[in-house]
Structure 1
Amino acid sequence: MQNSKQNQTNRVVSWLLNAAKLIGLFVLYQLAMIPTMLPSIMHKTSGIGVVLSALASLVLLGLLIWWLIWLYRRQTPMVSRLPRPTRPIWGLVGMFALLEFGNVLSGLVVQQTPENQVILDKVFATNPVLNVILMALLAPIIEELIFRGLMYRWLFPRLTSWGRLVIAVAFSSILFALAHTTTFSPAIIAYLPIAIVLNLTYVWFNDIRYSLALHIINNSVAVIGMFALLSH
């Protein structure tokens, strides 16, 4: 009995430590983004300062990606009870269609622009090229490694029952949505569709490449929309 209680305590402590490590990694991600925001805060849209800020963020984010990949590869793969799709491409197409349907519904419900999107719009206006690289490629890589790869391998390594699966997807989806807002506002709903679909994709395929591909496609579509708005 004593050993059982001790093992349970050790598991709880380990889970909390892993959760703290995930928070720390997300904080590092936000710190690496600071140089990209400085030109918009200082109302500068050109000059050597903008270029240096962009290069600083690209270097910091590149180093962070390298470290996250190293951490991810060192972890034991997640065990899932879901069978992998027999036709991965069609499965990915179906998940993308589900994601777009969710985005449309959330757009009808939420009229408020999320704080994260407001910040991205300012960065986009200051340095469109940097924003394309950041939003369409680097951000998806970092966020998938943190919110799908490491989170599941550290916090939910064995999804051997439907209960565990539902709890894991719900927890990680809410955390992902909260990470993209600065306040507990209705704008959180805008991020729930992509959060849920990305988590389901990762759990279903049990391969981070598919959720990463879906994340990049979704963000690339958003970048194209931002370019279209600027051109008008």
Structure 2
Amino acid sequence: MQAAPYLTTIGNGLIAPTIEELLFRGLFFNFFFLKKTRFNGFLKIIVSGLIFGSMHELAINYNWLIYCAMGWILGATYYWTKDLKCSIILHALINLL
């Protein structure tokens, strides 16, 4: 961050959220649990959040739970809005805080 603050901000604030949302919500939600039921929607949110948390924190600890919760919030955002832009913007805002 100290060596390249602008590049780090762009990477963490714009590029990473876009790529992660395309993978965790865009691809995952459209290739797994395809049957359109409420239960499958719930599973999409839970499983994508668990994967999201595990990709950010390998050990199951407090930080892992925070990442999972963030994944669940982003997953629910995408599930209810059906618009990937909403979860990308929310993810970018969270990262920039």
Please say whether Structure 1 and Structure 2 have the same fold, judged by a TM-score greater than 0.5. Answer: yes
Query: RMSD over aligned Cα, in angstroms?
Result: 1.4
Among candidates 194, 197, 211, match of residue 87 of structure 2:
211
Q: Using the alignment, how far apart are the partners of 1:184 and 1:190 within structure 2?
A: 10
Deviations 1:102-143 (A, max 9, x none): xxxxxxxxxxxxxxxxxxxxxx13321111010000000000
Matched residues, number = 97
Unmatched runs of 5 consecutive residues or more in structure 1? 1-123, 222-232
Counterpart residue identity of residue 161, structure 1: T
Q: Using the alignment, how far apart are the partners of 1:149 and 1:156 within structure 2?
A: 13
Greater radius of gyration (CA): 1
Q: Greater RCO between the two (CA within 8 Å, min separation 6)?
A: 2
Counterpart residue identity of residue 86, structure 2: Y
Q: Using the alignment, how far apart are the partners of 2:45 and 2:38 within structure 1?
A: 11
**Any idea what SS the aligned residue of 2:60 has?**
coil
The answer to whether the aligner puts 1:173 opposite 2:49 as a matched pair is yes
Q: Using the alignment, how far apart are the partners of 1:186 and 1:219 within structure 2?
A: 18
Q: For 1:220-231, what aligned pairs fall within 5 Å after superposition?
A: 220-221=96-97
Counterpart residue identity of residue 170, structure 1: I
The answer to whether the aligner puts 1:151 opposite 2:17 as a matched pair is no
Q: Using the alignment, how far apart are the partners of 1:217 and 1:187 within structure 2?
A: 19
Unmatched runs of 5 consecutive residues or more in structure 2? none
TM-score w.r.t. length of structure 2: 0.90
Among candidates 2, 10, 13, match of residue 136 of structure 1:
13
Corresponding residue for 1:64? Answer: none
Identity among equivalent positions (%) equals 29
Q: Using the alignment, how far apart are the partners of 1:201 and 1:181 within structure 2?
A: 22
Moved over 6 A (4+): none
Q: Using the alignment, how far apart are the partners of 2:73 and 2:30 within structure 1?
A: 18
Counterpart residue identity of residue 28, structure 2: M
Counterpart residue identity of residue 130, structure 1: L
